[in-house]
Amino acid sequence: MIKRFVIPFVAVFVLATACGGEDEPVRVPPAAPSADGGGAASGTARAERAVVKLAAEKTKARETVLNAGAPLSCVKVTVTNQGRRNVTVSPLYFSITDAEGKRHDGGEALGTYENRVPTTTLAPGGKATGTVCGKGAFEPRTVAMTDEAVQEIARAEVG
């Protein structure tokens, strides 16, 4: 019995308070210029992107005991931070594209080979070198690296 009166009352209350209809839109002032004078302070200024140099060459995997004889196609990569901000590096941030255009994620064979790309943070000017492998026998053509937000930040042809 109480539900019969409470539910319609709550619905009418929500609709009445949410649909004012007579309110004027609020005008938002434009963002003030930033301290360096280079654009607005609230996101309209172009954010500095990490500048990463990526070098790649084909290599053979040094397999671990976790690999049950499955073929691996590997690339030795060198990541160089050429920007002014730190860059996070992880084997999960890499992918290999084969000659047929198929993408192989760097994490799919993780643990089945040695000398993987280290999980680290590179300071400006820092370098990291390691191996990235994909499962299967294929011809690696390109290697791509993403950031934490899965945005590609570097790409290199496999030499």
Residue 86 CA to residue 72 CA, distance in Å, equals 31
User: Of 85, 56, 53, nearest to 153 (Cα)?
Assistant: 53
44-81: per-residue pLDDT in tens?
334 455 589 999 999 999 999 888 888 999 999 999 99
pLDDT band at 23 (very low <50, low <70, confident <90, very high): very low
Q: Please identify, in words, the CATH class of the domain defined by 52-157.
A: mainly beta
The pLDDT of residue 73: 96
63 φ/ψ angles, rounded to the nearest 5 degrees: -70, 150
User: Of 72, 76, 112, 70, nearest to 94 (Cα)?
Assistant: 76
**Contact yes or no for 125/158 (Cβ under 8 A):** no
Please report the beta strands in the chain, taking only residues with DSSP state E, as ranges in sequence order: 52-59, 72-81, 87-89, 94-98, 103-105, 120-122, 127-135, 140-146, 152-157
- Would you say residue 4 has pLDDT above 80? no
Count of other CB atoms within 10 angstroms of residue 39: 13
**Helix, strand, coil proportions of the chain in percent (round to 5)?**
15, 40, 50
| Mean pLDDT estimate for the chain | 81
pLDDT band at 154 (very low <50, low <70, confident <90, very high): very high
Cα–Cα separations (whole angstroms), residue 152 to 35, 50, 137, 141, 145: 30, 10, 25, 16, 6
The pLDDT of residue 74: 96
Read off the DSSP letter of residue 92. G
118-137: per-residue pLDDT in tens?
999 999 999 999 999 999 99
The pLDDT of residue 69: 84
99-122: per-residue pLDDT in tens?
999 999 999 999 999 999 999 999
Mean pLDDT, residues 19-38 taken together: 46
- Taking the model in full, what pTM does it have? 0.67
